[in-house]
C-alpha cells in the first residue's frame, strides 16, 4: 500500500506542480496511526518536490492562480464530526496562511479566486474578499447565486444574465452591459482574459461551446467532458484506443487536425492526471517493459506537447 494518496495534480504556472492529498503516518512511524494532509510542490517542473504538512487529515481541493492558490483541508474530530479550514498558498515562498475555519456542515464556500480576490458565500450571502490582506471586502448582489459569473483579472465581475453580458464593479457598485447576445447560454467560461459560452443539450446530453463572438467552436457529446481536456483552441483526447498501451491525440484547432502519441511500453492503465494550458501533460505511468517489478509502476511523468 502506498504511503501517499493524492487527490489532484495541479500546474498553476509553467514551472510549478502541486500534488494534494494525504500520507499514511504508519508508513513512516510504526507507532503512529491515521493520515496527515500534505502538499507536494515542485518549482522545477517535477524534477524535485518539497513537502508541506498540515494538521488536518486530508486536502479536499486546490484552486490556483499564477502566484497564489487557495485550498481547503479537512480534519476529522471526535464522534466523526469534521472541521474544514481554508488556506492561502504563496507559490514563491511556499508559505501557507490559514484564512478561515468552520464546521464541514456549514454553508460556507470560497470560489472564483483570481489571485487576489475570491467570492465568499455564507448562507447565500455573497461578498468579494481580498484574501491577501483579509480586510478589504465588498458585498455582492444576492442574484449572483443564480447567475454564471467570474471574477476577472481586473477585479471586476463578468456576469451572464439572460442575453446580456454584464461587467460589474463591486468597489463602485456600478455595472455596464458590454455585449448584447443573440442567443441564450447556460454557462460563462473565463480563462486567461478570454470568455466563452456553453449551451447544454438537455434532451441528449452534451452541448455546444462558443467564443466571445458567439461563433461555434465545437460540439461535445454526453461523457466527452470526462474524456477531453480543452484549453482555448487546444484539445487532448485521452480515451484509450488500444488495449496494449495508451494512445492519446491532441489538436491545436478544436479537433480539426490531430497529432497522435503512442506510449509503447506503458500499461494501458496509465492515464493523464493534469495539464498546464497547451504546454504539457502530467501523466501517471506504469510500465510493462521494465525487468524489475518495483520499477513498473507509481511514476509521475511530465510530457511537453509538440506542434
Query: Looking at the domain assignment, is residue 182 inside a domain?
Result: no
> Whole-model pTM?
0.85
Domain boundary among 106, 140, 164: 106
Q: What is the mean pLDDT of each run of 10 residues along the chain (307 residues)?
A: 78 91 83 87 91 95 95 90 96 96 96 97 97 94 97 96 96 96 95 90 83 88 66 76 69 85 66 82 67 57 78
Which pairs with CB-CB distance under 8 Å and at least 24 residues apart come from 45-51?
45/14, 45/15, 45/16, 45/17, 45/280, 45/302, 46/17, 46/282, 46/300, 46/301, 46/302, 49/19, 50/94
Query: Looking at the domain assignment, is residue 84 inside a domain?
Result: yes
Domain that holds residue 68: 1-106
Query: Looking at the domain assignment, is residue 257 inside a domain?
Result: yes
Query: Looking at the domain assignment, is residue 23 inside a domain?
Result: yes
pLDDT, position 1: 39
Residue with cell 474530530: 77
Longest CA–CA separation in the chain, Å: 66
Query: Looking at the domain assignment, is residue 219 inside a domain?
Result: no
**How many CB atoms neighbour CB 270 within 10 A?**
21
SS3 per residue for 187-247? EEEEECCEEEEEEECCCCCCEEEECCCCCEEEEECCCHHHCEEEECCEEEECCCCCCCCCE
pLDDT, position 303: 78
Burial class for 157, CB neighbours closer than 10 Å (0-12, 13-18, 19+): buried
Domain CATH for 61: 2.40.128
pLDDT, position 239: 61
Q: Are 242 and 268 in contact (CB under 8 A)?
A: yes
Domain boundary among 106, 139, 167: 106
Query: Looking at the domain assignment, is residue 118 inside a domain?
Result: no
Query: Looking at the domain assignment, is residue 179 inside a domain?
Result: no
pLDDT, position 180: 97
Q: How many CA atoms lie within 13 A of 48 on its CB side?
A: 3
Count of the separate structural domains present in the chain? 2
Domain boundary among 69, 84, 106: 106
Query: Looking at the domain assignment, is residue 123 inside a domain?
Result: no
Amino acid at each position: 500500500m502506498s504511503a501517499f494518496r493524492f487527490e489532484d495534480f495541479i500546474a498553476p504556472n509553467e514551472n510549478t506542480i502541486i500534488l494534494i492529498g494525504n500520507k499514511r503516518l504508519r508508513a513512516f512511524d510504526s507507532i503512529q496511526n491515521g493520515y496527515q494532509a500534505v502538499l507536494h510542490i515542485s518549482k522545477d517542473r517535477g524534477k524535485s518536490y518539497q513537502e508541506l504538512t498540515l494538521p488536518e487529515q486530508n486536502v479536499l481541493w486546490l484552486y490556483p492562480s499564477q502566484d497564489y492558490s487557495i485550498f481547503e483541508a479537512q480534519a476529522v474530530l471526535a464522534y466523526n464530526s469534521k472541521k474544514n479550514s481554508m488556506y492561502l498558498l504563496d507559490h514563491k515562498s511556499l508559505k501557507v496562511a490559514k484564512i478561515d475555519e468552520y464546521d464541514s456542515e456549514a454553508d460556507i464556500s470560497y470560489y472564483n479566486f483570481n489571485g487576489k480576490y475570491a467570492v465568499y458565500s455564507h448562507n447565500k450571502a455573497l461578498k468579494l474578499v481580498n484574501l491577501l490582506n483579509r480586510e478589504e471586502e465588498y458585498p455582492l448582489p444576492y442574484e449572483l447565486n443564480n447567475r454564471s459569473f467570474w471574477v476577472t483579472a481586473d477585479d471586476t465581475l463578468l456576469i451572464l444574465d439572460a442575453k446580456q453580458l454584464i461587467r460589474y464593479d463591486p468597489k463602485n457598485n456600478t455595472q455596464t452591459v458590454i455585449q448584447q447576445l443573440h442567443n441564450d447560454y447556460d454557462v460563462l467560461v473565463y480563462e486567461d482574459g478570454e470568455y466563452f459560452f456553453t449551451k447544454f443539450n438537455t434532451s441528449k446530453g452534451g452541448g455546444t461551446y462558443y467564443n466571445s463572438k458567439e461563433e461555434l467552436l465545437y460540439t461535445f457529446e454526453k461523457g466527452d467532458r470526462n474524456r477531453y481536456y480543452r484549453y482555448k483552441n487546444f484539445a487532448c483526447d485521452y480515451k484509450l484506443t488500444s488495449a496494449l498501451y495508451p494512445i492519446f491525440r491532441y489538436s491545436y484547432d478544436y479537433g480539426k487536425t490531430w497529432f497522435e502519441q503512442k506510449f509503447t511500453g506503458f500499461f494501458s492503465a496509465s492515464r493523464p492526471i493534469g495539464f498546464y494550458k497547451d504546454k504539457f501533460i502530467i501523466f501517471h505511468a506504469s510500465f510493462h517493459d521494465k525487468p524489475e517489478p518495483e520499477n513498473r509502476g507509481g511514476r509521475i511523468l511530465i510530457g511537453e506537447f509538440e506542434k
